[in-house]
Structure 1
């Protein structure tokens, strides 16, 4: 079992793009309208992973600089871009600590998914103030996070029970350097150079098969193949039996999924 963050994330690569819900297309339409994206702009995707934001944005831009600290994620992003015929992406190995040394040049937007909470957010926003052009923005996007006003899927307790039994975890651990940050992203932004905030969200229903629910679990660091180690086969078999018993006959496993975006600009 590999308990290191790098090992856990590297082992999620084959499952991340395949099983994680995609960002709602309304997000990209909003960014196109809001910033008049016409194929001439450059955008930084920091913590790009395998390109969930990069690949839909690239056709709207001159260039996306996709930065990620995991070589396997970058390799997967390149593969997916080639398969989709997406051009104009510059893939870079790096992170928020090495960002200024990467010499990415001026960008209109810096987009981030869940990667923002991994960073020294205050310092990163100061650094981005030196890179983002006038009229540009920091864009924080999330998809699939839990929300109090969205009913959790009825099958979620089945997954949680198997995870507790097979991993001794009552709940996923925090994913950032010291767990999830205590200070909300909004409060950090309000104290930053990018203190003018706009928020939007879109909800939709995602339907999965039992095998897709299992694949989704393998995309998470806390139930990644590396984290499960030798217990992976038992985890998958146990979860498959539990899901089949919960919904016999191969029924679908539905979930309401929210895409959220925070657009932060200078006052």
Structure 2
């Protein structure tokens, strides 16, 4: 089986589901980065692999301009709509793969990656971004799992989502190997990101950890959207069987929910900061 390579269908059909199904980054993440980086409403932010703007818009109040870059046009359309709905006027959106940067976007005080760097040619992107950072600029990588919460035996106000059963249902339709675009994402050792960053000339890292342990109320609709927000279960992967899969997923969730609702304990968010 050939190694996975990026293609345009990676998140096809997922954009509208992403902001519904993923748990929002907490305000504490924005405040923590503001304090850690000394943000004062000036300067420029570049958010690479911005998706529907979840981190871009959270940080928009702390910069004069924020620029979101993503390869998926639908993700950018959702991001632009969310910015408009929120009255955020200092955001710009550009369709591009990270490997195609700098693309005449200019220089930035902060460049962020939120749950996106693992999809990229990491040594190439690390080198290109370094040339886009202003003197004293920072690279910020947000590591988080926002589509689902923590497993555990502790009792919550409502039942936890049946994630094992959801995973089994996806595997029954799509097979046991995780899909990714037109191929599959093979399991294996992940690259050593610290080695990659140091080889590219960065110093650090510093770490900031926020959140975790809060209890999140989740609805059936949010859980359905969460499943479709994943590259491994993006809507296009099901083809003509999509209505059947969604019907089974909804039946599973409805039968295990408490009046249509679940509870999950949120995971902590780790932010890695390079100079």
Do 2:178 and 2:184's aligned partners in 1 also have CA atoms closer than 8 Å? no
Structure with the higher helix share, 1 or 2 = 1
2:244 is aligned, of 212, 220, 234, to 234
Conserved 8 A contact 2:215-2:266: yes
Q: Which is worse superposed, 130-139 or 201-210?
A: 201-210
CA contact 1:59–1:87 (8 Å) conserved in 2? no
- Residue 9 of structure 1 aligns to a residue whose secondary structure is coil
Cα shift at 1:140: 0.6
What secondary structure is seen at the aligned counterpart in 2 of 1:189? Answer: helix
Give TM-score, length-normalised by structure 1.
0.87
Preserved contact between residue 21 and residue 224 of structure 2 (Cα < 8 Å): no
Alignment deviations for residues 124-174 of structure 1 (CA, whole Å, 9 cap, x no partner): 222222111122111011321699xx53656211211211222223x6346
SS in 2 for 1:252: strand
Per the alignment, residue 207 of structure 2 pairs with 199
- Give the 4+ runs in structure 1 shifted more than 4 A: 173-181
Change (3 A) 1:251 1:58: closer
State the alpha-carbon separation in 2 of the partners of residues 241 and 177 from structure 1.
27
1:199, 1:262 within 8 Å by CA — same for their partners in 2?
yes
CA pair 206-249 structure 1, distance change in 2 beyond 3 A: closer
CA distance in 1, matches of 2:54, 2:17: 13
1:159 matched to 2:169? The reply is no
Query: Which residue is equivalent to 1:172?
Result: 178
Query: May I ask how many residue pairs the two structures share in their alignment?
Result: 259
SS for the counterpart of 1:196 is: coil
What is the aligned counterpart of 1:56 among 58, 65, 71? 58
Aligned-partner Cα distance in 2 for 1:137–1:123: 17
Displacement after TM superposition at 1:5 (Å): 4.1
Distance 1:260 1:31 in 2: 11
Q: CA deviation at 1:97?
A: 2.0
**Which runs of no fewer than 5 residues in structure 1 stay unpaired?**
none
CA offsets per residue over residues 212-260 of structure 1, 9 Å max, x none? Answer: 2111101112212111121111111112222233335434242433322
| Secondary structure of 1:23's aligned partner | coil
Take 2:92 and 2:230, find their aligned partners in 1: how far apart are those partners?
Answer: 26
How far apart, in 2, do the equivalents of 1:45 and 1:155 lie? 33
The equivalences for 1:7-86 within 5 A come to 7-86=9-88
Distance 1:84 1:140, change over 3 A: same
**Deviation of 1:197 (Å):** 0.5
In structure 2, distance between residues paired with 1:16 and 1:251: 19
> What is the alpha-carbon distance in structure 2 between the residues aligned to residue 177 and residue 262 of structure 1?
28
1:103 aligns with 2:100: no
Partner of 2:157: none
Q: TM-score, normalised by structure 2?
A: 0.84
Per the alignment, in what secondary structure is the counterpart of residue 67 of structure 2?
A: strand
Q: Is the 8 A contact 1:214 1:239 kept in 2?
A: yes
Distance in 2, matches of 1:146 and 1:78, equals: 22
Query: Within 1, Cα distance between the matches of 2:228 and 2:118?
Result: 21
